[in-house]
């Protein structure tokens, strides 16, 4: 069974590189002897996930980190499209036009995804499974050419013929999900990692860990502090994977709690005739979003919101993002344009390093 779609050798290599990069970012200018710091890394949800704690007694740390990884694996076992027995995969394989029972937890996440869909005027859409499949971004080895215009047009016509996903929570303990058209399928790839990060943090807290950081391939949430300093993490250069282009730290957040999630056109893509085709699709066109951005990093109180909004803002583009980001309280944005210049919102906590 292929558990990690998109995990080509090249991708695994770049993920390891990212890990090294983040490691360097943690240690910049500091004493390398840090007996209070412990990091454990696992391959989960198609990426490298590392959990770092600070100043935690060893057995408590081991217990908390184990529970956090187990929780992320459990969530992957519900939300992944790629493992055949998950609730999402079973829903997608079921009969269209017939509401199916789904787990309460899945219904709650879909509700959150639909909230982001609403506040982004549809730029974020959890029902893009079919078009993502058509582009091949859901497979281990994406095709190296785009689908035909005809196929995309056909998809668009069907997709726009109805609202797509219909979630019913009339009985909250027995939710159902239906589809209004055959061009829709569930894909929570734009938000599930953020949710899993939040749940992992919850497990750390439950184990009494107050200072920690969960990092899933550069999508991060931290709690507490790193000794007497705030957590400090690097944001990857969108074109030079081995470089940090900005550093994010959040000295002013309550209890040091904050999430930082980045969406970019470099995470999963192929080139065809000099043109880059990436994995964040615009529901309006059926094509990879062409909003003039290379990446969008979002800081928020929780990783779920930061994850959903970074994907949404990437599709929305700079102008709309700048007009609308304040509607979500506590959200700050750093975006990088095509020419590698940037804009960051006033409250974004961190610094631009540049080239
Ligand atoms: P992220 O890396 O968080 O920006 O999410 C990208 C993933 O979300 C893709 O790999 C797809 O699974 C899914 N996705 C792509 N485009 C969209 C979109 N417009 N709205 C919601 N999810 C999307
Ligand atoms: Mg996202």
Q: How many Cβ atoms are within 10 Å of 312's Cβ, its own excluded?
A: 29
- Mutation test of ligand 1: which of 45, 136, 156, 190 has the most ligand atoms closer than 8 Å to its C-beta? 190
3-state secondary structure of 132: helix
**What confidence score (pLDDT) does residue 13 get?**
58
What mean pLDDT is predicted for residues 245-251? 90
Q: 274 pLDDT exceeds 90?
A: yes
Q: What is the C-alpha separation between 246 and 168, in angstroms, rounded?
A: 42
Total residue length of the chain:
355
The helix or strand, by DSSP H or E, that contains position 39, with its residue range, turns out to be strand 37-44
Whole-number Å distance, alpha carbon 308 to ligand 2 midpoint, is 4
Mean of pLDDT values over 94-101: 84
The rounded mean pLDDT for the chain is: 90
Which residues does a 6 A CB cutoff place in the pocket of ligand 1?
124-126, 128, 132, 137, 187, 189-190, 263, 267, 279-281, 283, 307, 310-311, 315
Q: Which ligand is nearest to the CA of 298?
A: 2
Structure tokens, 143: 């095709």
CA 15 – CA 8 distance, rounded (Å) = 10
Over residues 160-216, the pLDDT tens digits come to 998 899 999 999 999 999 999 999 999 999 999 999 999 999 999 999 999 999 999
* pLDDT for the residue numbered 251: 79
């Amino acid at each position: 069974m292929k558990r990690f779609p998109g995990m080509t050798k090249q991708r695994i290599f770049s993920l390891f590189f990212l890990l090294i990069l983040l490691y360097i970012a943690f240690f910049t200018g500091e004493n390398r002897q840090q007996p209070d710091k412990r990091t454990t890394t696992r391959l989960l949800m198609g990426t490298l996930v590392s959990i770092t704690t600070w100043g935690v007694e060893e057995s408590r740390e081991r217990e908390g980190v184990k529970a956090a990884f187990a929780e992320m694996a459990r969530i992957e076992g519900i939300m992944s499209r790629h493992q055949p027995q998950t609730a999402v995969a079973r829903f997608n394989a079921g009969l269209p036009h017939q509401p199916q029972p789904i787990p309460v937890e899945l219904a709650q996440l879909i509700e959150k995804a639909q909230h982001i869909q609403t506040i982004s005027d549809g730029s974020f859409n959890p029902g893009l499974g079919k078009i993502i499949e058509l582009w091949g971004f859901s497979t281990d080895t994406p095709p190296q050419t785009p689908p035909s215009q005809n196929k995309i047009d056909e998809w668009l016509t069907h997709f726009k013929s109805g609202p797509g996903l219909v979630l019913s929570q009339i009985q909250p303990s027995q939710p159902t999900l239906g589809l209004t058209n055959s061009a829709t399928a569930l894909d929570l790839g734009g938000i599930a990692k953020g949710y899993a990060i939040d749940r992992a943090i919850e497990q750390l807290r439950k184990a009494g860990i107050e200072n920690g950081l969960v990092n899933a391939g550069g999508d991060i949430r931290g709690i507490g502090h790193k000794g007497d300093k705030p957590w400090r993490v690097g944001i990857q250069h969108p074109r030079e994977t081995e470089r940090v282009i900005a550093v994010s730290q959040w000295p002013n957040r309550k209890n040091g709690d904050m999430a930082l999630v980045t969406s970019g056109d470099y995470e999963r893509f192929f080139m065809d005739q000099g043109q880059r085709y990436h994995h964040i699709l615009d529901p309006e066109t059926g094509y990879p979003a062409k909003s003039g951005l290379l990446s969008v990093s979002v800081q928020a109180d929780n990783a779920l919101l930061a994850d959903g909004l970074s994907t949404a803002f990437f599709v929305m583009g700079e102008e709309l993002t700048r007009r609308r980001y304040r509607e979500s309280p506590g959200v700050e944005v750093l975006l990088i344009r095509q020419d590698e210049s940037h804009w960051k919102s006033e409250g974004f906590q961190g610094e631009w390093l540049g080239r």
